[in-house]
Amino acid sequence: MQEADQHDLSDDSDYAASQQQAIGSVVRCDSAKSGVSEPGGSEVVYSKDNVTIHPSQYAAERIRGRLRLIKQDSSLFMSWIPYKPSIDGADSVGRHSDLVPIEKDRYLYTIKALPLGEVRSIRRHTPTLGWQYIIVVLSSGLAYPPFYFYSGGVREFLGTLKQHVFIVRSAEDPNVFLVNNFQDPLQKSLSSLELPRVVSIANGTSLHNSISFASADNSEQLSGVRNDGSSSISEYGSRQKHRSHDPTRDISLHVLEKFSMVTKFARETTSSLFRENHINSINAYEKKQQVRYAEDNSIDSRHKDEQAASDKVSVASDPLEFDKLPLVWGKQRERPLYLEEWAAFLDSEGRVMDSKALRKRVFYGGVDHDLRKEVWKFLLGYHEYDSTYAEREYLAAVKKSEYEVIKSQWQSISPMQAKRFTKFRERKGLIEKDVVRTDRSVPYYEGDENPHVAVLRDILLTYSFYNFDLGYCQGMSDLLSPVLYVMEDESESFWCFVALMERLGPNFNRDQSGMHSQLLALSKLVEILDSPLHNYFKQADCLNYFFCFRWILIQFKREFEYDQIMRLWEVLWTHYLSEHFHLYLCVAILKRYRKRIMGEQMDFDTLLKFINELSGHIDLDYSLRDAEALCACAGESGAACIPPGTPPSLPIETDGGLYPQEDDVL
């Protein structure tokens, strides 16, 4: 079979139609025609209006813009620029909105010029109802939010891509198209191998002759792009280098990413592969702040040699003088909230009189363990702050009855039914495997035939029927375990877990969109809070931040002792300084070990090993103070880095949904 036949996509209906219409089909785009010349010798080969993103579930907050493919020399770039709203509340195409997105949200998603050489794949979604949309995944593994084509045009978009770049449909999913630059013979050869999760290889094209996409045509309608005659190729273009990826390294990254997953088996596998003594922090300040770990983490002679070698490497200074930040902003931890204090927050009927003051108190001190059973229900949203004793008692009775009804659904499945219910058997088997290895060192769960382990299993099975679309994923048992330990009641544990999963459920989406959005936000936070560290990660091909995957997925569950994780979670649940405080905690930990990471010039494999081995050796109190300082320092700039709707923000309740649901079957 010839090479051209290997990658012939003519059997795809979109491509077949595109071939019949030829490249002239893109002339039908709404506001611009193919072949329009741009300043700097560039050419618009595709342009489409009303390409929209959905930052939240509110229809009024959708952001419309123009999607373009622009060719310059042998390189192809993609841009998406939001329309500029007019004074009367309408966008540039005359559509009115009662709730116009604020400026920082509108332009947060702007793509000025994304080289197609930095795109790994494009996923096409065609729901039964609603609009077609695409998801663009970068070679770093991060993804842009979905682009909805309100006026059609996905077919023309993909057809135009085929004319200018080399693409191949994924063997695993016919709706995923791997994007590669056809100008590079090496890249084309690697694409023909159809390696799993192959990523595009930079073709080394010089980008010094940058282009400005803010032409006279869109300067009137679009904003967010400077039209000052200077080079305005996107930040992505400036990052392109004269190098190529090793395809075996890409596969290695995919495998090692799995090591950062949450199961005990994965952690033990990683430990067996990289079994070494944990290295204590390398600078004097860290040693001073973590004295209690010093005796357990002595540095052997080999590690001393590595330390001496790393000292010779010049490490960029921390632009924020990180070690001094907690002295300015970070507040000392207080004693936990105790019974008398808690009673003072309640009125005579049991309402919380000042919820913000309560959340602040919990943020800085946590909760006494004997009070957690009551306070956690408020922090998780199971109880409303203005509910009374009587209302809460009634709710508990109603919810207990509702829980039993849901539980009976899977309990009533007969063995004969189970044989014909593949999804149930798979989930039940996975849950039973996970619960027997979840926190078995904790006295509450230790020992054979432990009844609490059985309750853990029952709650997870019931949740898989309550939220059948999400079902069960590895890591959920880690999140439920402390909740059951505190509540000591099956029904209340279930409903508190439901409330928790309303926040963290997107972490377990099959397309990992929730995780990608948080990793992307983390990348932006590190970039503004420690640009030298961010630049180092970029140079070391670690910009996807997958080494923080486990931290975010299960909220540091594996990084701290059991009593510490309960303190941390109740701090995170307050949403006092930020509903994404866990991301600032990630930055704080990375910054604390930045000299070690940069001094030893860790690559992805070494960094992943190092991060995993920090488990049990991170000082929680100091990390919380550091994170608070960073959050205060970042201010609005930090908040602007985090797209609306990024987990673990609470989902917006809607009346049956304000926009069509995406298709679940890929």
More confident residue, 195 or 528: 528
Q: What is the pLDDT of residue 222?
A: 43
Answer yes or no: is pLDDT of 334 > 50. yes
Residue 443, preceding peptide bond in cis (omega within 30° of 0) = no
Q: Helices H, strands E: what count in the chain?
A: 30, 10
pLDDT-derived band at 56, boundaries 50, 70, 90: low
Q: What is the pLDDT of residue 457?
A: 97
Q: What is the pLDDT of residue 59?
A: 72
CA dist 402 and 411 (Å) reads 15
Q: What is the pLDDT of residue 199?
A: 34
More confident residue, 137 or 654: 137
The CA–CA distances, whole Å, from 21 to 156, 310, 401, 493 equal 9, 60, 61, 59
pLDDT-derived band at 378, boundaries 50, 70, 90: very high
Mean pLDDT of 40-61: 82
Fill in the amino acid letter for 296. Answer: D
Dihedral angle at the C-alpha atoms of 651, 655, 656, 657, nearest 10 degrees? -60
Q: What is the pLDDT of residue 407?
A: 96
Answer yes or no: is pLDDT of 71 > 60. yes
Q: What is the pLDDT of residue 649?
A: 67
* Range of lowest pLDDT (285-294, 552-561, 582-591, 634-643): 285-294
pLDDT-derived band at 5, boundaries 50, 70, 90: very low
User: Do the beta carbons of residue 333 and residue 549 sit within 8 Å?
Assistant: no
Maximum average pLDDT range among 197-206, 259-268, 524-533: 524-533
pLDDT-derived band at 168, boundaries 50, 70, 90: confident
Q: Is the dihedral of CA 530, 627, 582, 455 positive or negative?
A: positive
For the stretch 561-586, what's the b/e string if a residue is b when 16 or more beta carbons lie within 10 angstroms of its beta carbon?
A: ebebbbbbbbbbbbbbbbbbbbbbbb
pLDDT-derived band at 211, boundaries 50, 70, 90: very low
Which pair of structure tokens corresponds to residue 33? 């025609």
Answer yes or no: is pLDDT of 176 > 90. no
Q: What is the pLDDT of residue 634?
A: 86
DSSP code of residue 21: H
CA dist 24 and 445 (Å) reads 66
Answer yes or no: is pLDDT of 287 > 80. no
Q: Which domains does the chain have, with CATH numbers?
A: 42-83+104-183 (2.30.29.230), 388-507 (1.10.8.270), 513-641 (1.10.472.80)
Q: What is the pLDDT of residue 318?
A: 65
* Range of lowest pLDDT (17-31, 326-340, 450-464, 601-615): 17-31
DSSP code of residue 650: P
More confident residue, 280 or 405: 405
- How much is the pTM? 0.57
Per cent of the chain over pLDDT 90 is: 45
Give the helix, strand, coil percentages of the chain, each rounded to 5: 50, 10, 40
CA dist 149 and 190 (Å) reads 32
Pairing verdict, β 75-82 and 119-125: unpaired
Mean pLDDT of 426-448: 93
pLDDT-derived band at 435, boundaries 50, 70, 90: very high
* Per-chain mean pLDDT for the chain: 74
Q: What is the pLDDT of residue 163?
A: 87
User: Do the beta carbons of residue 80 and residue 223 sit within 8 Å?
Assistant: no
Mean pLDDT of 351-377: 95
More confident residue, 494 or 124: 494
Which pair of structure tokens corresponds to residue 478? 């880690």
For the stretch 290-305, what's the b/e string if a residue is b when 16 or more beta carbons lie within 10 angstroms of its beta carbon?
A: beebeeebebeeebee
Q: What is the pLDDT of residue 167?
A: 84
Q: What is the pLDDT of residue 37?
A: 55
Distance of CA 190 to the CA centre of its chain: 29
More confident residue, 107 or 596: 596
Mean pLDDT of 403-421: 94
Q: What is the pLDDT of residue 145?
A: 83
Mean pLDDT of 641-648: 82
More confident residue, 185 or 477: 477
Mean pLDDT of 3-27: 41
CB atoms within 10 A of CB 96: 12
pLDDT digits (tens, 9 = 90+) for 113-160: 889 888 888 988 887 777 888 989 887 777 788 899 988 889 899 989
CA neighbor of 372 nearest in space, from 267, 462, 473, 489: 489
Mean pLDDT of 70-84: 88
Mean pLDDT of 585-614: 94
Mean pLDDT of 447-454: 93
* Range of lowest pLDDT (55-69, 143-157, 609-623): 55-69
Which pair of structure tokens corresponds to residue 127? 């729901």
DSSP code of residue 565: H
Per cent of the chain over pLDDT 70 is: 65
Answer yes or no: is pLDDT of 215 > 90. no
223-232: long-range pairs with CB below 8 Å, 24+: 223/81, 223/82, 223/84, 223/107, 224/81, 224/82, 224/84, 224/106, 224/107, 224/110, 224/112, 225/81, 225/110, 225/112, 232/112, 232/113
Q: What is the pLDDT of residue 244?
A: 40
